[in-house]
Structure 1
């Protein structure tokens, strides 16, 4: 049996009225090492109160990023977190995390407008990194012994931190568009129940 595949079809048989799902906001993606995230987290831990003052509306912070109240909560279990960290060590593909680069100042005060600089997608993966960096997650070494971050020497830390984790970003103050973007990013990887979607 021969299967026919054509990258493009002839105009005479295509239906121009059909349109498939497309992105809501223009997205850019850059390849950065995990060290960029670790540095941000280090800076956050040095003065968390000032970060909380800057984003008073944040439901929580993950690796120093504010997370909006309309996103689902932390859901991964210990096994899922450990598998992600093991994937970093083994050089597996990590996908990408998505942030909103837009920042609006709330009337000249130190506080930023809601949805400024938020983490939109990747919360579970970034929280896994946070717990690992804080020794709250032990990962088996090459001999199968559980190890926390503080036990690992600098050469191995450098290898981990140099792993590329793609950073995608949008830039918008439109919460409706941000919610739709959140739903689109999450629906294909880990389907959300209706009550977990941001755009209701």
Structure 2
């Protein structure tokens, strides 16, 4: 059997002047339980107006994180949201969400500079979680019965919140680099 894939170029067929794209921004990856994300969101829910003061430029907030005005809108339908929540319950791979950890205070103001601490990718997934946890989205239980979050006991809630959701971070004040990163992951 002959293989057509070659891991490395043999002989003279390699063009050493061809360069592929490089990483736009360095990333940090954390594998955290949903509990961590939900804890951050609970702090936001206590005082959403404070978040508005810090991020007056945000188009909206998802799980307490500011979303830049250049991000697409909320587009997932009920079926897509339900499948994502079912994937969480099933222990499936949830993908990741990407944030910008960079922040800069605006001098003499409580506000942070635009693009500080933004959610770059994962808005649809995080919004699905938010809708589910606020009882706005039902998903089928093991018997196929639609269930909302508030119907569950603490054991099942703890199991859900222990599921791992990968958090990827960049740190940049360069909006063009952030937008290019966003475009790559869409």
Instruction: Bin the TM-score by the shorter chain.
Output: over 0.9
Matched, 1:133 2:127: no
* CA deviation map 1:19-73 (0-9, x unaligned): 2233211111111111111111111111101111110000000000000001110
Tell me the TM-score normalised to structure 1 length.
0.90
Matches within 5 A, 1:105-120: 105-120=105-120
Q: Distance in 2 between matches of 1:85 and 1:126?
A: 10
* Structure 2 unaligned blocks of 5 or more: none
Are residues 1:40 and 2:55 paired? Answer: no
SS at match of 1:26: coil
Asked whether the 8 Å contact 1:23–1:181 carries over to 2, the reply is no
> For residues 101-146 of structure 1, what are the alpha-carbon distances to aligned partners after superposition, in whole Å with 9 as ceiling and x for unaligned?
0001011321100000000000000000000010000000000000
Aligned length: 186
Indicate yes or no: 2:174 matched with 1:174.
yes
Deviation at 1:164, TM superposition (A): 0.6
Distance 2:182 2:87 in 1: 24
Output aligned runs, 1:27-106, within 5 Å.
Answer: 27-106=27-106
Unaligned runs of 5+ in 1: 187-200
CA distance in 2, matches of 1:108, 1:7: 56
TM-score normalised to the size of structure 2? Answer: 0.96
Query: What is the rounded CA distance, in whole Å, between the counterparts of 2:155 and 2:32 in structure 1?
Result: 19
1:23 alignment partner, SS class: coil
